[in-house]
Amino acid sequence: MTKPRQARIYQGTPRTLARLARRLQQGDVVAVPTETVYGLAGNALDAGACAKIFAAKGRPADDPLIVHIHSLAQLPALCRANPAALTLARKFWPGPLTLVLPKTDAVPALVTAGRDSVAIRMPRHPLFRRLLKATGLPLAAPSANPFGYISPTTAEHVQASLGRRIRYILDGGPARHGLESTIVDLRDPRRPAILRPGVITAEAVAHALGRRRLPTAPATSTRAQPGPQVAPGLLARHYSPRTPVVLHDRIRLPRAEADTPGVAWVFQQRPKGRVGANVHWLDPRGRLPGVARRLFALLRRLDALGLDCIHVERARGGGLADAINDRLRRAAAR
Ligand code: TXA
Ligand code: MG
């Protein structure tokens, strides 16, 4: 499947959008910007196009894809929505929220990994929305990274890790949120559950549904676990750099250690006092949106240095910190 040519990065002019839309209609795959992370998109109704997505990512066939839409009018063809789903869609779409709902026969089994449910999201990124509209199609798109590796938050990240396996990358600038969407299981509207924490917090989803709280599915350590409230493919180890990652509640760094070769220290905020070459921080003031936005880019950059170890401090607080810590836990899992 490896293509010899390097993928090209396209700017989102009307001409390139029309061209990439034609490629998608013809069954090609295109890497696209979203407000969460970059995705690798293909026609969700074309099993052949979706097979190319799995092949390019090296993704196991038991890990289902998210289907992206630009209009609520596309829903009935794809899924059986319920009032709870429509409530969340009206409140949070377009945005970083994915709903798992009973699927229709139009959605190929490959997309849903044989499940009778489908994951659907209406993204907010303006270029991706224009592309969706231009194709007139629902587009299946997982994160545009090789399976198990860190999700890409820039077009350059996509080129660096999938550049020899795909041909088209649409550049929409650095992703605004930097973490994958919140996934909510709404197959049974009486038992909603968070399958993956994200920028839209569990509290916000519960509140919108008029509930005090929502259960969060436990991270699965094995794939294809048949339990009802489990997101397949969410391996305990995921989003992982090749370099070992060690998590800390709080890093207290003795002077001498700040310069240990082969080791990086990643703080949530700029640490006071001496700063060594191996000392990094995710946001100057430790603000969570900034931490989320820069996390994957920093892990990629450090991973490229061939270090022995990356030490990272956990985010503090709830809400967005839960989503950040979820990704950190998976990056650190061995
Ligand atoms: O922000 C995002 O969600 C990004 C952008 C590109 O939209 N996409 C993304 O896709 O993160 P991906 O493939 O990396 O993660 C999708 C996850 C799957 O691993 C699986 O856990 C869950 O969504 N999922 C998909 N379909 C499902 C289904 N029918 N039931 C339960 N979980 C499902
Ligand atoms: Mg992914």
How many domains does the chain fold into? 2
Q: Could you tell me whether strands 117-121 and 263-269 are parallel, antiparallel, or unpaired per DSSP bridges?
A: unpaired
From 179, 204, 235, the end of a domain falls on 179
The atom of ligand 1 lying closest to the CA of 195 is 32
For residue 62, give the CATH number of its domain: 3.90.870.10
Whether the per-residue pLDDT at 133 is higher than 80: the answer is yes
From 179, 207, 222, the end of a domain falls on 179
Ligand 1 neighbour 39 (Cβ under 6 A): yes
Asked if residue 255 belongs to a domain, the reply is yes
Q: Which of 211, 206, 231, 210 is nearest to 221 (CA)?
A: 231
Give the residues across from 264 on adjacent strands. Answer: 310
Asked if residue 141 belongs to a domain, the reply is yes
The pLDDT tens digits for 275-332 are 788 999 999 999 999 999 999 999 999 999 999 999 999 999 889 999 999 999 999 9
Residue nearest to atom 13 of ligand 1 (CA): 142
Whether the per-residue pLDDT at 219 is higher than 80: the answer is no
Whether the per-residue pLDDT at 227 is higher than 60: the answer is no
Ligand 1 neighbour 313 (Cβ under 6 A): no
Q: Which of 138, 127, 130, 137 is nearest to 66 (CA)?
A: 138
Statement to judge: residues 163 and 60 lie in one domain: yes
The pLDDT tens digits for 230-258 are 566 566 666 788 999 999 999 988 777 77
pLDDT at 287: 97
Asked if residue 225 belongs to a domain, the reply is no
Mean pLDDT score, 114-137? 98
Q: Which domain holds residue 277?
A: 245-332
Residue 1: pLDDT band with limits 50, 70, 90: low
Ligand nearest to the CA of 142: 1
Mean pLDDT score, 187-205? 96
Contact 117, 202 (CB under 8 A): no
Statement to judge: residues 68 and 155 lie in one domain: yes
CA of 119 to the centre of ligand 1 (A): 7
Asked if residue 229 belongs to a domain, the reply is no
Statement to judge: residues 52 and 147 lie in one domain: yes
pLDDT at 233: 59
Q: How far is the C-alpha of 290 from the C-alpha of 28, rounded, in Å?
A: 34
Residue 216: pLDDT band with limits 50, 70, 90: confident
Asked if residue 29 belongs to a domain, the reply is yes
Neighbour tally for 76: CB within 10 Å:
11
CA of 1 to the centre of ligand 1 (A): 23
Among 54, 66, 100, 230, name the best residue to mutate to test ligand 1's pocket (greatest count of ligand atoms within 8 A of Cβ): 66
Statement to judge: residues 12 and 154 lie in one domain: yes
CA torsion 193-194-195-198 (nearest 10°) is 170
Asked if residue 192 belongs to a domain, the reply is no
Asked if residue 42 belongs to a domain, the reply is yes
